[in-house]
Amino acid sequence: MAETIWSDARSQMMLDPNVANLNTGSFGPLPRVVFERVTKLRERLAEEPMDFLVRQVPPLLWDARERLATFLGGDARRLVFTCNVTASVNIVAASLKLAAPGEILLTDHEYGAMHWCWERAAQRCGLTLRTFPLPRTPGSPGEIVDAARAAFTPQTRLLFFSHVLSPTGLVLPAEDLCREARGRGILTVIDGAHAPAMIPVNLADIGADFYGANCHKWLLAPTGSGFLYLGPGSEDRLQPLQVSWGWHHECRGVDERDEFGSTPRLRALEFEGTRDICPWLVVPQAIDFQDGFGWARIRARIAELGAYVRTKIGRGVGLEEATPAHPALHGAMAAFQLPAGTDPAVLRRNLWEKFRIETPIIERPERLLIRVSTHFYNTEDEIDRLASALPALLHG
Ligand SMILES: Cc1ncc(COP(=O)(O)O)c(C=O)c1O
């Protein structure tokens, strides 16, 4: 019965049947219903752009904002749509004013491009950039909070961290970290690239000053859908990346819904001239799609597949686990350390060319990792395929 549900769910996804896609962590594939909806909207944009952009978009945009905010435990009037989390973090890093001298603090496991954003922000503000080491394989969320506590100094102006780390899939205790930072007057910016739909997210409870994320990974919305959430007290700290028609606005009603499907405050950050925002407008369909199976059931299936990955790739192939098994510390990605001497480029090429397996090989300064993502549409057979490919590729 359970198997029928998941094979039926998989049949509703647009997946290449020849590929074992164990890499939702990089990019999410689309449910057919989401693809059809976004294509329909694009057809209207193509045939009657004026009607679509001026009359049809505003209510659709507001609906998408409300649905996404509700799904994530937030307030629609705080949610700016962006094309991806890179844009979300850049809006913050490019415009936030931070007092110098001081430092921007990051974990040592941040996504490379986001680290560079803060490098530039530090230069712009005359601050130093410092990373602090996360425990290698923490046994509890408390160990991560302790590491952050030990890293804070009176000079720390801002803490940036990923909710779910890209290299290992480790889930950080976002709410606790924000609380610790807030108590010291430190601003918090979270890179939630992987979090929406992978793990439960409640933006109000997390309490970050800024939380950016993608909808085009685990939520399975079209490429080009992300958001930035403005925390209480931080609404006025940012400037848009591009000045457009939202720039001058009446201060009265700055947080009230306007005729564009935004609020004046959100539109100032969000509207970048004419562009294709159809990916944002179908976020409700992406939420509905997974909601239809039930989030509890999806999470249970993800946990089942994750346990299977640990059995087959960890114990079976004999690779050391780099992602803790503690339920609060992982979601739907597990990473394993590869043997010393493995050539990452050759392994990547062989996984694809010989086995048609999509799973990233991640080069960290201290070790080489293979990261396996399992969403509800993955199968035990795909994990078996990886488990039987690896010994030959690593030792053969
Ligand atoms: C932690 C993290 N941050 C940022 C990004 C960048 O995402 P995007 O290219 O969608 O902006 C990624 C992409 O995988 C990521 O894993």
- Identify the band that residue 178 occupies on the pLDDT scale cut at 50, 70 and 90: very high
- In the predicted model, what is the mean pLDDT of the chain? 97
Nearest-10 Cα torsion for 213, 218, 223, 229: -20
CB atoms within 10 A of CB 240: 18
Atom of ligand 1 at shortest range from CA of 217? 10
Residues touching ligand 1 (Cβ under 6 Å) are: 26, 84-86, 111, 114, 162, 166, 191, 193-194, 214
- Nearest-angstrom CA–CA distance, 222 and 324: 30
- Identify the band that residue 303 occupies on the pLDDT scale cut at 50, 70 and 90: very high
Residue whose CA is at the smallest distance from ligand 1 atom 10: 84
Mutate to test the pocket of ligand 1, among 214, 220, 225, 359 (most ligand atoms within 8 A of CB): 214
- Identify the band that residue 230 occupies on the pLDDT scale cut at 50, 70 and 90: very high
Residue whose CA is at the smallest distance from ligand 1 atom 6: 86
Atom of ligand 1 at shortest range from CA of 27? 14
Atom of ligand 1 at shortest range from CA of 85? 11
Superfamily of domain 2-30+294-395: Aspartate Aminotransferase, domain 1 (3.90.1150.10)
Distance 242 CA to ligand 1 centre (A): 21
Give 354's Cβ-side CA count (13 Å radius).
Answer: 13
pLDDT in tens, 109-130: 999 999 999 999 999 999 999 9
Q: CB-based contacts of 78: which residues, under 8 Å, 6+ apart?
A: 69, 203, 229, 230, 231, 235
Residue 225 pLDDT greater than 70, yes or no: yes
Q: CB-based contacts of 5: which residues, under 8 Å, 6+ apart?
A: 293, 297
Whole-angstrom CA distances from 30 to 33, 133, 283 are 8, 36, 12
- Nearest-angstrom CA–CA distance, 307 and 318: 15
CB atoms within 10 A of CB 253: 12
In angstroms, the first-to-last Cα distance of the chain is 39
Distance 300 CA to ligand 1 centre (A): 25
User: In this structure, what token pair is assigned to residue 287?
Assistant: 């939420």
Distance 44 CA to ligand 1 centre (A): 30
Statement: the pTM of the whole predicted model exceeds 0.85:
yes
Burial classification of residue 345, based on how many CB atoms lie within 10 Å of its CB (0-12 exposed, 13-18 middle, 19 or more buried): exposed
CB 339 within 8 A of CB 394: yes
- Nearest-angstrom CA–CA distance, 263 and 396: 60
Residue whose CA is at the smallest distance from ligand 1 atom 16: 166
Instruction: Return the CATH fold of 39-286.
Output: Aspartate Aminotransferase; domain 2 (3.40.640)
Distance 193 CA to ligand 1 centre (A): 5
Residue 251 pLDDT greater than 80, yes or no: no
Long-range contacts made by residues 336-339, C-beta under 8 angstroms, separation at least 24? 336/369, 336/370, 336/372, 337/367, 337/368, 337/369, 338/367, 338/368, 338/369, 338/370, 338/394, 339/394
- Identify the band that residue 1 occupies on the pLDDT scale cut at 50, 70 and 90: low
Distance 114 CA to ligand 1 centre (A): 8
- Nearest-angstrom CA–CA distance, 240 and 172: 29
Mutate to test the pocket of ligand 1, among 23, 86, 90, 172 (most ligand atoms within 8 A of CB): 86
Residue whose CA is at the smallest distance from ligand 1 atom 11: 86
Residue whose CA is at the smallest distance from ligand 1 atom 12: 193
Query: SS3 helix, strand, coil % of the chain, rounded to 5?
Result: 45, 15, 40
- Nearest-angstrom CA–CA distance, 348 and 355: 10
- Nearest-angstrom CA–CA distance, 123 and 391: 46
- Identify the band that residue 252 occupies on the pLDDT scale cut at 50, 70 and 90: confident
Measured on CA atoms in the order 341, 343, 344, 346, is the torsion positive or negative? negative
Atom of ligand 1 at shortest range from CA of 226? 10
User: In this structure, what token pair is assigned to residue 296?
Assistant: 């509890």
Distance 27 CA to ligand 1 centre (A): 9
Give 309's Cβ-side CA count (13 Å radius).
Answer: 30
Distance 269 CA to ligand 1 centre (A): 20
Q: Would you list the DSSP string of 233-294? A: T-TTS---SS--TTSS--STTTTS--TTSS-HHHHHHH--SS---HHHHTHHHHHHHHHHH-
Work out the average pLDDT over 220-233: 98
CB atoms within 10 A of CB 18: 6
Q: Report the percentage of the chain scoring pLDDT > 70.
A: 99
Mutate to test the pocket of ligand 1, among 166, 168, 280, 369 (most ligand atoms within 8 A of CB): 166
The structure tokens 């990261």 sit at 371
pLDDT in tens, 9-52: 999 999 999 999 999 999 999 999 999 999 999 999 999 999 99
CB atoms within 10 A of CB 347: 19
Burial classification of residue 193, based on how many CB atoms lie within 10 Å of its CB (0-12 exposed, 13-18 middle, 19 or more buried): buried
Mutate to test the pocket of ligand 1, among 88, 91, 92, 111 (most ligand atoms within 8 A of CB): 111
Atom of ligand 1 at shortest range from CA of 164? 1
- Nearest-angstrom CA–CA distance, 290 and 328: 22
Distance 111 CA to ligand 1 centre (A): 7
Residue 182, pLDDT score: 98
- Identify the band that residue 3 occupies on the pLDDT scale cut at 50, 70 and 90: confident
Residue 396, pLDDT score: 74
Tell me which residue of 316, 332, 328, 339 sits closest to 386, measured CA to CA.
Answer: 316
| Domain boundaries defined on the chain | 2-30+294-395, 39-286
Atom of ligand 1 at shortest range from CA of 214? 10
